[in-house]
Structure 1
Amino acid sequence: MNIREGAALAHIIIVGGGAGGLELAVRLGKRLGKRGKARITLVDACRTHLWKPLLHQVAAGTLDSHADEREYFALARSNHFHFRLGRMLDLSRETKEIYLAPTLDGDGKELLPQQAIQYDHLVLALGSQTNDFGTKGAKENCIMLDSLKAAERFHQKLIDQCLRAQTQQQTAGTGRFTVTIIGGGATGVELAAELHMTTKILSNYGLVNFDPEKDLRIVIVDAAPRLLQMLPERLSAAVAKELRSIAIEIHTNERVIEVTQEGVALASGQFIPSGLVVWAAGIKAPDFLNGIDGLESNHLNQLIVKNTLQTTQDPAIFAIGDCAACPQGEGLPNVPPRAQSAHQQASCLADSLCRLLEGKSLQEFHYKDHGSLVSLGNYSTVGSLMGAIASGSVFIEGTLAKWMYWSLHKHHQVAVNGWFHTWLSTWAETIDRVRNPRIKLH
């Protein structure tokens, strides 16, 4: 679509305000919205944004979510795009409309009615949700760590249990409170380390009856042969060694067959009594995307896209991030569902949409794997960097790895907030660490 003077502005709708969707909205707002070349609208079911890789810190209490959340309405105003509150239900390719479910207030009353919004170009950046693979009892008895609400719920349950230990003298045979984490990927591993660190700090805040070494048991269960199965074996071995050194139990090659109120049943016949169970074993795109209005999708509900990030059945609809099945090349797996993937796709698609409105061809997306980093709280950070040498990867750990892990979050903040606001917020975080407790106690 070429831009002509006096013609109606092209309307680009981005559904999903995660890492990829928000970065794309900010880029397009600055390049198109600010100059009156297109109308940019971001749609999300939540009013605030939190970088998803931080959820395990919110759950453990080492990060106060309110300090890192950003209001979509404020971001829209400062970055020249529009924000619509709502959860996408469906779309019509024929009329080029998306449909949003009614939004309810805290009392369950209708706040916003069902909405229909027309688009010229649609970008689906809906991210992913936890995939329990149909495991019996998982939905009812696990916390799925895929949203801010779930992370805060987990944290509250953890604090409640610590308070019980403080006020109730345990009797012999009562046993330890067990947190079982199903999934040995980055989320499960990082959560386990953060939990261990959190409970040690809690015992220093006057909870004299709570001894994390005696009263808390942390268990990781994974069906794969090793932790971090998708990452280099050396990195996996280093993480497992560090976790075992702080008494975290690791059960690999163990498939969960049922989760009950009492604990976790494994295919091997073992049963792990558990007071709190977190499911972090797999992801899938939202269910409603599966075959939505004839678009091609896979078994994980991801929309299948071309190298241009366009869906295979409709050139006006794009998908990025975890909800997209994006090819890397013949014989290679799809682009992995990581924050760096969403960031790279947002950057590429911003350029492509600007080119499209100028009547030029779309760019092809080429994923560049920059490596992986896994944080184990204050204990350690390990990772592998790709492209640092002519071939292969470089294994890093310790202070350098911690600094690089921290810089990933800052890179996202710069993309969304700009250098100056990121610099200010970093100083504010430093002051808060001195002023506030090291963990959230409520």
Structure 2
Amino acid sequence: MPASGKSYQLVIVGGGVAGIEIATTLGRKWGPARRRGKPAPEITLVDADFAHVWKPILHTIAAGTRDVAQQNLAFVKQARDAGFAYQAGALAGLDRAAKAIVVAPLHAADGRLVIPERRIAYDALVLAIGSEANDFGTPGVKDHCRTIDSRREAIAFNHEIRTRMLQSVAFEQPLSIAIVGGGATGVELAAELIQLLDISTGLGAHGLSGLMTVTLMEAGPRLLAGFPEDISAATERRLTAIGIKVMTNAKVSAATEAGFTLADGSEVAASLKVWAAGVKAPGLLADLDGLEAVRSNQLAILPNLQTTRDPAIFAVGDCATLKPAGAAHPLPPTAQVAHQEARHLVLHLPALIDKGTPIPDFAYHDMGMLVSLADYDAFGSLGRLGLFKGITFRGRLAQFSHEMLYRSHQQKIFGFWRGGIVWFLDWLNARVRAPIKLD
């Protein structure tokens, strides 16, 4: 607990699925008391970006089938509305002895210093800084491949794909796109790019359909390895049917300017290359003032989500690893896990702060998995709990379920009524604006 007369400082690093939900929910809980002059914990959210976008839709922003301007949630405005403070900047270090984090300086695009390096004190710290692409040390990936792990990367990819498409039509040059990674991100991005192609052709880019190709490569024997086998097989058939070349057992040994070299020595030509073959936590966490981390840079945490070496520091979402009792593998780096962990802290942090009540162990509930192939199809599994466990489904029900995950997240951060209004505005914009980003 802080010294007498000093407000309790809860600092959250990372404004992704978990970070924004924790800051928003607890901000609304404690904000009214602070406004009335009563003592209440103060929350500070730190993020290197200026806006939140739900990570599972980044592939649609990258393809331009969803406009990022409509999906941005500015941290400054959310902080004002929900009752927390926002600090712009990336995590640069940690001083556990002083209970403070170091925030990197913020520079403008032209290199000018905007905000210098600073320290932010905490009484409790929640690390929720997400993940980034894992190239597994594959030569050439950093130099020749694009990744889509953040809002900025998705926007940059969208600018690049639109430029390449215009050049392809203008000069009648082939545009070959290759995606490495047959997980949900790679599969969904491939489908969105075909939808981008179909819409562009309908808007007048008739020559593009014979010039643009999409190849999806997976090192393992099937796509969507974490899904039931029937969904994997059906997904591969559907992707092939809409024009995507699917390659399984295609392990990439190197990326080059011309494309990819496979382990068997064969070459896959690609003018635009995307790496979506795995994730790891940011390298900073590998040696963050003595906190325990695993090989993928993820922080090791106890069942109650505290880090193993510091009870004042929690880690949630993709940047943390937790293997439940009796489980064969750690929890996957998914939005579902991040949301449930965030909910656990939202429920139990107040009692810890107010009364010193220990946080109970976190229990994960597998609610199933969903994958959307743009407007072409969708597949889902109901998970391992309940009466209908293991049942798979597809089509409109799966598409609606996939969309509802996003709408549920929006309602958590906007509230019920504002979340409904945002959903209506998205529906309205879809009917009055171009179906793909053109500006």
TM-score greater than 0.5 by the shorter chain = yes
1:407: which partner in 2? 404
Q: Secondary structure at the match of 1:438?
A: coil
How far is 1:358 from its partner?
2.4
Among 191, 197, 221, the alignment partner of 1:193 is 191
Matched, 1:134 2:132: no
Mapped to 2, the partners of 1:178 and 1:274 lie a distance apart of: 5
Partner letter of residue 342 of structure 1? A
Map of 1:168-207 to 2, 5 A cutoff? 168-169=171-172, 176-207=174-205
TM-score by length of 1: 0.95
Count of aligned positions: 433
1:173: which partner in 2? none
How far is 1:35 from its partner?
2.3
Distance 1:405 1:331, change over 3 A: closer
Mapped to 1, the partners of 2:327 and 2:104 lie a distance apart of: 40
Distance 1:241 1:209, change over 3 A: closer
2:146: which partner in 1? 143
Among 365, 383, 394, the alignment partner of 1:368 is 365
Matched, 1:18 2:10: no
Q: Secondary structure at the match of 2:238?
A: helix
How far is 1:258 from its partner?
0.8
Matched, 1:354 2:357: no
Summarize deviations over 1:115-145 as a string: whole Å, max 9, x none: 0011000000000000011111100100011
How far is 1:389 from its partner?
4.1
Map of 1:290-309 to 2, 5 A cutoff? 290-309=286-305
Distance 1:271 1:95, change over 3 A: same
Among 305, 315, 322, the alignment partner of 1:326 is 322
Which structure 1 residue ranges, 5 or more long, are not aligned?
171-175
Matched, 1:429 2:432: no
8 A contact 1:33–1:40 mirrored in 2: no
How far is 1:391 from its partner?
6.5
Let me know the Cα RMSD of the aligned residues.
1.5
Among 82, 87, 99, the alignment partner of 2:85 is 82
Mapped to 1, the partners of 2:156 and 2:56 lie a distance apart of: 17
Mapped to 2, the partners of 1:327 and 1:114 lie a distance apart of: 36
Partner letter of residue 157 of structure 2? F
Q: Secondary structure at the match of 1:440?
A: coil
How far is 1:388 from its partner?
6.3
Map of 1:79-158 to 2, 5 A cutoff? 79-158=82-161
Partner letter of residue 184 of structure 1? G
Matched, 1:386 2:355: no
8 A contact 1:306–1:327 mirrored in 2: no
Mapped to 2, the partners of 1:391 and 1:161 lie a distance apart of: 46
TM-score by length of 2: 0.96
Map of 1:237-276 to 2, 5 A cutoff? 237-276=233-272
Mapped to 2, the partners of 1:161 and 1:95 lie a distance apart of: 50
8 A contact 1:371–1:386 mirrored in 2: yes
Summarize deviations over 1:396-432 as a string: whole Å, max 9, x none: 1111111100000001001111011111111111121
1:344: which partner in 2? 340
8 A contact 1:42–1:82 mirrored in 2: yes
How far is 1:239 from its partner?
0.6
Which structure 2 residue ranges, 5 or more long, are not aligned?
35-39
Map of 1:68-79 to 2, 5 A cutoff? 68-79=71-82
Q: Secondary structure at the match of 1:226?
A: coil
Mapped to 2, the partners of 1:169 and 1:181 lie a distance apart of: 22
Q: Secondary structure at the match of 1:315?
A: strand
8 A contact 2:168–2:175 mirrored in 1: no
